[in-house]
Structures are given as C-alpha cells and as structure tokens.
Homo-oligomer: A and B are copies of this chain.
Amino acid sequence: MARGINKVILVGNLGNDPDVKYTQGGMAVTRISLATTSVRKDRDGNTQERTEWHRVVFFGKLGEIAGEYLRKGSQVYVEGSIRYDKYTGQDGVEKYSTDIIADEMQMLGGRGGGEGGGGGSYERSPRPQRQESAPRPQSAPSRQPAPADDFSDDDIPF
C-alpha cells in the first residue's frame, strides 16, 4: 500500500557508459546519465534547445542487465520514480541530489550504440520475500461466489 503516484517515463540517450558497482551483498547498482532534449521556438521565432541530464539508477538484476547491454549513445526507454536525497558533502555543506530509480528498461533501436545491440525489455525483479517456506496465499477465499468462467486455473494471465 502506498499513498500517491510517483512515475517517470524517459526515452533518451546515454552520455557515457554505465557505471556499475556492487554492494557488499553482491547487488548491482548501475548508474547512467540520460539525455532528453526538448525544442521550442522563442518569441523571436528562433529555435531553442534544452537538454536535461537525468541520473538514472538500476538495482539488482536490472542493474546487471543495464551494465551489460547499455553503452554510451544507446537509446533507452526507462520507467521509474523520482527520489530526492539530501546529504552532507565532504566540505560539510548540505547538498541535494535527484535520482530516477528505474524499475523497467527497454533498449531501443535495434542496436542502440553498443555492439550487443538488440532491443528488449526488462523489469525490476520483485523483492524476494523472506520467509521460512512459501505458504499458500491466504487471500484466496475458501469458497468462490462465482466462477470466472473465462479464465482457467492459471495464475495471473497476460
């Protein structure tokens, strides 16, 4: 449960190769710098461009895939959320940073700038539940008021 929606959708190109690090626990933390450019005409009719550089972070399996397949120049679709952080720099001054925490990624263009090329979409892996054994979901009612006749006993369909 949460309260509110915080969703970001980006399509842009990487300004550099991804930066991949690992936590002590072995989780990948991959960062990219992603450019999106918008264009408008100013009041004198001149075309003006402005580029935003987004700091995008991928965790876990998604971070490994990003680190492996993305390269400087790659075009990529990213979906995630905004996170604002405040920290104290080495100079003792309070600083602020903004990151996009990715939870879905799709390489675009067939060969985005890297050699591996190829498009493909990946989702952030669900956090593994920490539990002794996987109990049967308690949410399923013991008695069904009415069958959903157009779905078999499979799990959630497409």
Q: List 19 A-B contacts (CB under 8 A).
A: A2-B106, A5-B10, A5-B12, A7-B79, A22-B144, A22-B148, A23-B144, A23-B154, A24-B152, A28-B148, A38-B158, A40-B127, A95-B96, A96-B96, A101-B157, A108-B108, A108-B109, A125-B156, A127-B155
Question: Binary interface profile of A, 88-125, with partner B (CB < 8 Å = 1, else 0)?
Answer: 00000101111001000010111010000001111011
Copies of this chain present in the complex amount to: 4
Q: How far is the CA of A50 from the CA of B6 in the complex (A)?
A: 12
A153–B96 CA distance with the chains assembled, in angstroms: 23
**A153–B42 alpha-carbon span in the complex (Å):** 12
Q: Bound complex: CA of A76 vs CA of B58, how far in Å?
A: 24
> Given A4-B11, A156-B127, are A148 and B27 also a contact pair (CB < 8 Å)?
yes
